[in-house]
Amino acid sequence: MTDIVVGDTDVPRLTVSPFDGGTAAALTVTRPDGTTLAVPVAVELAGTDGQLWQAEPVTYDAPGGWVLTWTVTGTGQGVEAQQVYVLASPTAGGAVWLPGRSRVANYIPGRTLNVDPAVHSAAGETYDPGWGPNTRPTGQQVDRLILDQASLVSVRVPRLTETHHEAASTVVAMLVAAAIERGQPDTDPTSLQRALDLERQALARLDELVRGVDEETGETAAGPVMPVWSMPAPVPWGDSYF
């Protein structure tokens, strides 16, 4: 099963061995519709294990089969094709106010660390541009967390208006960031405190959002913001009271 979904951004890498000063590499990306794109590449690291080439980030913006073709010339020459199957995003077709992955990452930027052991051994710690297949959590997991937290906001604010879309997006992004900090394995002792702080801020903003929507619409989730009068049923001898 693939962990790549529409919206993922990944950094293609290739290790060439043997190599020398004349070794060169190029990367061509073929999209599902057959169009191609030449992606700039450069040497990231060279050592006894080989020469590590790294490409500019590739954003998978369409579902289906993608092909990444590396062409190496000079010492170590050859052609290597890497097939990538991209799934449709779980958030596609959802509410227009759903936050994107990058908005979630704004609150916890240290979580986009690439966890691929090969990348770590070659170049030390590497942070990807956003959530993707090599981050913890993956981009697909972040998408599902976005849907989970958006359902909470929808229950609290069933009459969300366009005026408050931006505020709702912020609340969801903060709640997702808190869920990641709380749920992902981490040796950082401050991770739980960050989660608590994010949750506290998000819930306070959610309360403000509820009040703002109530004031704009004149209604609450329970019904109209106005008195509801209740009178007892009339009795036959009521006229005798006058």
- Per-residue pLDDT reduced to its tens digit, 101-120: 888 989 998 888 878 766 65
Which residues have C-beta within 8 Å of that of residue 164, sequence separation ≥ 6? Answer: 157, 209, 212, 213, 216
- Per-residue pLDDT reduced to its tens digit, 146-188: 999 999 999 999 999 999 999 999 999 999 999 999 987 676 7
Among residues 91, 6, 88, 16, the alpha carbon closest in space to that of 51 is found at 16
What percent of the chain shows pLDDT beyond 70? 87
Residue 1's pLDDT is 39
Average predicted confidence (pLDDT) for the chain: 86
Planar angle of CA 37, 139, 51, nearest 5 degrees: 50
Domains, the chain, ranges and CATH? 1-88 (2.60.40.10), 90-222 (no CATH)
Question: For residue 26, what are the β-bridge partners?
Answer: 71
Asked if pLDDT for residue 226 goes beyond 60, the answer is no
Task: Give the relative orientation of helices 139-156 and 165-183 as an angle to the nearest 10 degrees.
Answer: 130
Asked if pLDDT for residue 71 goes beyond 80, the answer is yes
What percent of the chain shows pLDDT beyond 90? 51
Lay out the sheet containing 64-73: strands in order across.
36-39, 24-30, 64-73, 78-86
